[in-house]
Chain A
Amino acid sequence: MLRVAAEVNNLVTIRRFVREAATALAAPAETIDHLVLAVDESATNIIMHGYRGQAGEIEIEIHRAQDAVVIYLRDQAPPFDPTRLPAPDVTLPLEQRPIGGLGVYLTRQLVDSVTHCLTSQGGNELTLTKKIEAFHPPTTGGTL
C-alpha cells in the first residue's frame, strides 16, 4: 500500500508504485502501462479537483483477484463520484462538460470498471478493475 501527500509532485511516486506492484502481481506489460496511466489520471483528478489545493493524502492499494488486478484509491477530499460524470458525448454542449472529465474518460478507456463509494470516514474510495486474460507466472495472489 502507498500513502502519499496529495501533491502533483508525488505523481511520479504513484506511477512507480503502480508499475512495481503490477509487475509483482505478474500483469502483462501492456496492462501495466494502462494501469499506470489510469491511476495517474485518477490521482491527478483527486489532487486537482478533489482536494483543490488543500492538504490531504491519497492511499493506493493494489491486489490481484482471480482474473483481474484491482486498485483502490482512497482520499479524504469532499465526497465526489467521478463515475457520475457524463459519458464523453461529443454532442454535449460545451458548457455542460464537467471540469476534470478528461482524466475520467481516459481511465474508463483503460480499465474494465470504475466504481466509487464513500468510506466509513466520509472520504472517497475509487476502485479500478482491469481483467487479465493471462497473468505471467508465477500465479500466486497477493496484495500490495
Chain B
Amino acid sequence: MNMTSEQIQARVPVTILRLQGDVDGSNFQQVIDRARELYQAGARHLLVDLAGVPYMSSSGLVALHNIALLFRGSTPPDPQEGWRAIRAMGDASAEGLQPHVKLLNPQPRVVHVLDQTGLTAFFEIHTEQAAAIGSF
C-alpha cells in the first residue's frame, strides 16, 4: 500500500491523505502512524482519499476510527483490541458525524464494510474533493 499527502488551504487548512492499495491486518498500523505524523506536524482537518483502496478489512476500520479519535484530541484505543475499539466507535458514533476526519470516494466494497459496522453514521463521505474540502 502507498500513502501520499498534501495540504490544501481552504477556509481551514485541510490535509488530504491518499491511500493506494488494500488496507488489511498487514498495514493498518502504517495508516495510523502516518496520520499521527500528520497530526503531530500540525494537521487538524483530514480528508482520507479512499478512491485507490479496492479492499478494506475490519483492520482498516479500526485504523480510520483510531485516526478520527486522534484528530478529535482523544486517546485512541489500542488498535489491536478489536471489540474494545469497535465499542469506542459506537460511543463516538452516538455523537453523530465527527468533524475532523472525512472520507473521499470509498469504493463499493469499502462502503459495504463501513455499512456492516455502522460507521457510515460516523464518517462524512464525499464524492467530490472540492466539496469535501469546503465542508471543513
Which residues of A come within 8 Å of B, CB atoms?
A: 8-9, 11-12, 15, 33, 36-37, 40-41, 44, 47-48, 88, 90, 94, 97-103, 105-106, 109-110
- Mark B4-40 against chain A: 1 for CB-CB distance below 8 A, else 0: 0000000000000000001011100000000000000
Please give the distance in Å from A94's CB to the nearest CB on chain B.
5
B117 contacts chain A at the CB level, 8 A cutoff: yes
Report the bound CA distance from A46 to B54 in whole Å.
23
Q: Are A106 and B112 in contact (CB under 8 A)?
A: no
Please give the distance in Å from A20's CB to the nearest CB on chain B.
15
The listed residue with most A CB atoms (<10 A of its CB), out of B22, B83, B84, B87, is B83
Q: Are A102 and B80 in contact (CB under 8 A)?
A: no
Chain B residues near A106 (CB, 8 Å)?
A: 57-58, 113, 116-117
Chain B residues near A37 (CB, 8 Å)?
A: 57, 113
A41-B57, A99-B81 as given contacts; A47 in contact with B25, CB under 8 Å: yes
Report the bound CA distance from A47 to B57 in whole Å.
14
Q: Are B83 and A11 in contact (CB under 8 A)?
A: no
Query: What is the total number of residues of chain B having a CB less than 8 Å from a CB of chain A?
Result: 24
A-B residue pairs in contact (CB < 8 Å), sample of 13? A11-B24, A15-B22, A33-B112, A37-B57, A40-B57, A41-B58, A44-B59, A90-B87, A94-B84, A97-B84, A98-B82, A99-B83, A101-B82
Chain A residues near B85 (CB, 8 Å)?
A: 102
Chain B residues near A40 (CB, 8 Å)?
A: 24-25, 57
Q: Are A102 and B62 in contact (CB under 8 A)?
A: yes
Chain A residues near B86 (CB, 8 Å)?
A: 101-102, 105
B90 contacts chain A at the CB level, 8 A cutoff: yes
Report the bound CA distance from A106 to B26 in whole Å.
18
Q: Which residue of B lies closest to A103 (CB)?
A: B58
Residue of B62, B83, B90, B109 touching A98 (CB-CB under 8 A):
B83
